């Protein structure tokens, strides 16, 4: 048996690394295990980098606000360059259905402290002049949202976690969890066994595989989503633009201009593609480019440099599952991020650290955990998932 740890985190990605950083800073002895050769090699490296608090769910709003605070001040606080840009997010409306949805959400978003408002057509075109004006009703704009490099932020948090004392083991696939009498005692991998009383499942698309080792079936299923990036051009677009209208083959899509001038984009397929297939498809680029050019005609002649495909670990209602197991003592879950692990990870990592190292949680923490409970009924869908 190897040395004992206060917490063993399974997964060195968008949630596991921030959690390790926060827990190690709080004084916990932390070990992070990952099946891949280094951190961020699961879904993190496929993320396009957006960080927003513009959600319809109070729990995700709170976590998003804290993630924004961490990311936007990271370079001045810790010194790592993470390519942070405070460009904002805009959800556009070309139909009354989207206008009604976005306006109805403003009451909740304002109540939880979001800096966001509705802008009619002419006002929104002042913010995003390149939008197609034909049929445009307006949209919401949240100027404090932004984007940064997922790989650079994950590396920065990994670096700070190691400095704080966290340990990492790579190429260490978990093959067993010892939980006699329903209490976590150790984690077994292909390279060693590690004693602990707390396990955090932050395994992303592989969360169910970990749950199965304890005889648990989590309602999380990976789905394939594709993204792409263009050649660089002169700056013309500040916010991330999100179009939530459904269309044949897709539910929504979103894109922004990187600080290098490249346009980064992604689409949500409908019907979804469940499973672990990360091979690019021939259908993706014609589908997303048709929608993007329709929304922003000046994109027509941009050349695409590359595309890729990543995994979204989806839950039944589009929100994460965060909390302690009610069957196995010491088993903590932060799973089913639904493609938002990167934007929620920094704030969520701090909450997970408080759950492990503190006796008392704040009323705000308890509200988040009640909403995101892994034992909830999954009756409501997050409107901006």
**Residue at token pair 């048996």:** 1
pLDDT digits (tens, 9 = 90+) for 255-269: 999 999 999 999 999
What's the CA gap between 20 and 18, in Å, rounded? Answer: 5
- Beta-carbon contacts of 382 under 8 Å, excluding residues fewer than 6 positions away, are 55, 56, 57, 60, 317, 318, 319, 338
User: How high is the pLDDT of residue 383?
Assistant: 66
pLDDT of 8 over the 60 cut: yes
- The domain defined by 86-144+221-313 carries CATH number 3.30.465.10: no
- Report which of 46, 65, 45 is spatially closest to residue 55, judged by C-alpha positions: 65
Q: Is the peptide bond before 271 cis (omega within 30 degrees of 0)?
A: yes
pTM of the model: 0.95
Q: HSE-up of 380 (CA within 13 Å, CB side)?
A: 11
Q: What count of residues does the chain have?
A: 385
User: How high is the pLDDT of residue 42?
Assistant: 87
pLDDT digits (tens, 9 = 90+) for 240-250: 999 999 999 99
Are 225 and 214 spatial neighbours (Cβ–Cβ below 8 Å)?
A: no
User: How high is the pLDDT of residue 3?
Assistant: 77
User: How high is the pLDDT of residue 262?
Assistant: 97
pLDDT of 2 over the 80 cut: no
pLDDT digits (tens, 9 = 90+) for 177-222: 999 999 999 999 999 999 999 999 999 999 999 999 999 999 999 9
Query: Structural domain boundaries of the chain?
Result: 4-49+150-220+317-371, 86-144+221-313
Give the fold, CATH level 3, of 4-49+150-220+317-371. Answer: FAD/NAD(P)-binding domain (3.50.50)
Are 340 and 184 spatial neighbours (Cβ–Cβ below 8 Å)?
A: no
| Reported confidence tier of residue 99, pLDDT bands at 50, 70, 90 | very high
Q: What is the mean pLDDT of the segment spanning 339-348? A: 96
| Reported confidence tier of residue 48, pLDDT bands at 50, 70, 90 | very high
> Would you list the DSSP string of 295-351?
H-GGGTTPPEEEEEEEEEEE-TTSS-EEEE-SSSBTEEEEE--TT-HHHHHHHHHHH
- Beta-carbon contacts of 208 under 8 Å, excluding residues fewer than 6 positions away, are 217, 218, 220, 221
What's the CA gap between 288 and 266, in Å, rounded? Answer: 8
- Beta-carbon contacts of 58 under 8 Å, excluding residues fewer than 6 positions away, are 108, 112, 367, 368, 371
Of 121-130, 331-340, 376-385, the least confident: 376-385
Are 17 and 350 spatial neighbours (Cβ–Cβ below 8 Å)?
A: no
What's the CA gap between 311 and 199, in Å, rounded? Answer: 23
Provide the mean pLDDT of the chain.
95
Secondary structure class of 101 (helix, strand, coil):
helix
Secondary structure class of 379 (helix, strand, coil):
coil
Beta strand 89-93 pairing with 146-147: unpaired
Q: What is the mean pLDDT of the segment spanning 140-160? A: 97
């Amino acid at each position: 048996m190897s040395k004992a740890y206060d917490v063993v985190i399974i997964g060195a990605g968008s949630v596991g690394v921030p959690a390790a950083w926060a827990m190690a800073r709080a004084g916990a002895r932390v070990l992070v295990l990952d099946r891949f050769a280094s951190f961020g090699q699961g879904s993190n490296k496929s993320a396009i980098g957006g960080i927003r608090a513009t959600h319809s769910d109070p729990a995700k709003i709170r976590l998003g606000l804290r993630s924004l605070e961490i990311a936007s001040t990271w370079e001045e606080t810790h010194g790592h360059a993470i390519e942070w840009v405070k460009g904002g997010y805009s959800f556009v409306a070309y139909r009354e259905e989207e206008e009604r949805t976005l306006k109805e959400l403003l009451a909740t978003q304002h109540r939880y402290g979001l800096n966001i408002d509705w802008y009619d057509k002419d006002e929104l075109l002042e913010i995003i002049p390149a939008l197609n004006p034909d049929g445009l009703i307006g949209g919401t704009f949240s100027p404090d949202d932004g984007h940064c490099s997922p790989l650079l932020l994950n590396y920065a948090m990994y670096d700070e976690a190691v400095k704080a004392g966290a340990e990492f083991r790579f190429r260490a696939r978990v093959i067993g969890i010892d939980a006699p009498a329903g209490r976590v005692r150790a984690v077994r991998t292909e390279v060693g066994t590690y004693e602990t009383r707390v396990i955090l499942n932050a395994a992303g698309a592989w969360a169910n595989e970990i749950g199965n080792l304890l005889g648990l079936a989590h309602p999380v299923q990976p789905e394939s989503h594709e993204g792409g990036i263009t050649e660089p051009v002169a700056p013309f677009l500040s916010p991330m633009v999100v179009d939530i209208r459904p269309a044949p083959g897709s539910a929504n899509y979103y894109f922004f201009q990187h600080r290098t001038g490249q346009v980064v984009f992604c689409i949500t397929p409908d019907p979804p593609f469940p499973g672990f297939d990360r091979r690019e498809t021939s259908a993706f680029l014609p589908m997303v480019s048709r929608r993007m050019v329709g929304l922003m005609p000046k994109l027509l002649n941009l050349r695409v440099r590359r595309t890729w495909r990543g995994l979204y670990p989806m839950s039944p209602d589009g929100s994460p599952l965060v909390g302690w197991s009610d069957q196995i003592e010491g088993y903590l879950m932060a799973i089913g991020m639904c493609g938002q692990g990167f934007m929620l990870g920094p704030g969520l990592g701090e909450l997970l650290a408080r759950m492990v190292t503190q006796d008392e949680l704040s009323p705000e923490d308890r509200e988040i955990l009640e909403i995101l409970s892994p034992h909830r009924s999954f009756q409501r869908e997050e409107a901006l998932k």
